[in-house]
Structure 1
Amino acid sequence: MNIFSSTFTTLEQALNYSSTKQKIISENIANADTPNYKAKDVNLSKSFGSDLESSIQAYRTDQRHFTYKPLSSELTKVFVQNNVQYNNNGNSVDVDKEMSNLASNQIYYNALIERTSGKFSSLLNVIKGGR
């Protein structure tokens, strides 16, 4: 018997992805001046994408609205960007891009935390009997 809906699992996977992305961005920024350091990035997993596809339902109220397109099915992995070089010393870290990624990842993480908190608040309300 599953007490919680699949939403908690999906939120957990999204938080894990965001946490991994935060670590990779931090590594990239920390090594911005390291000679021959290659920037890294993170992809979404097949399982995360399929969980989202099964938990997200799109309802179009008008035929002119965009249709729901599921996430791409890329493998989960941290990969190195080998074919890019921004500095003369062989370093491929673009600090401005990394800071932008850091800010957007922080917004994404905060949204996930808010959603998780809302789910737990709903459960607490049910447990207390609506009081």
Structure 2
Amino acid sequence: MLNQLTSSIDFQGQALTLRAERQRLIASNIANADTPGYVSRDINFSQALRDATGGQTPRLGTVGRLDTTQAGHIAGTGASPVAANLLYSNVSQTSLDNNTVDMDRERASFADNAVKYEATLTFVSGSVRSMLDAIKGGQA
């Protein structure tokens, strides 16, 4: 029982981290809506979550990998699931300054991701509450 609760919290924690990172990317896209040549970015959330929780190596190989060349070097942790699953947006409408940010799509993605972030936070809160109830033995 306890193992199931902790694995659920671990999974939801990874999802929360990825949702926050996706929100940061979308906010960056919105902030750069008027920057000439800026290419809108996003992540493949489901693939990044699979990579983060399944122990698989990221899809794009060794992006961000650090090699140690001396005995005193500290080994890197490898690529983050977000860095490995970073995507660039396809142009939905052409612009004279080659900026690919579509504000309508970005605002919708921002709102959708915010709702999913709140839902994930609710799941984590419920899991922690269940764990505390189990520890207390149902006593208030």
Whether these two folds match at TM > 0.5 is yes
Partner residue, 2:28: 27
Residues 47 and 107 of structure 1, relative CA distance in 2, 3 Å threshold: closer
Structure-2 separation of matches of 1:39 and 1:47: 18
- Deviation of 1:114 (Å): 0.3
Alignment map for 1:29-108 (pairs within 5 Å) = 29-44=30-45, 46=47, 48-49=49-50, 76=81, 77-81=85-89, 83-84=90-91, 86-108=94-116
- Do structure 1's residue 10 and structure 2's residue 11 form an aligned pair? yes
Given that 1:86 and 1:92 are in contact with CA atoms closer than 8 Å, whether structure 2 keeps it comes out as yes
2:42 alignment partner, SS class: strand
Which amino acid is 2:23 matched to?
Q
Residue by residue over 1:19-73, the C-alpha shift from the partner in whole angstroms, topping out at 9 and shown as x without a partner, is 11101000000000000101001113657337889xxxxxxxxxxxxxxxxxxx9
TM-score (norm. length: structure 2): 0.67
Partner residue, 1:126: 134
Which amino acid is 2:136 matched to?
K
Structure-1 separation of matches of 2:114 and 2:38: 24
Structure 1 unpaired stretches of 5+: 54-72
Q: CA RMSD in A?
A: 2.6
TM-score (norm. length: structure 1): 0.72
Structure 2 unpaired stretches of 5+: 61-80
Residues 22 and 124 of structure 1, relative CA distance in 2, 3 Å threshold: same
Partner residue, 2:119: 111
Which amino acid is 2:18 matched to?
Y
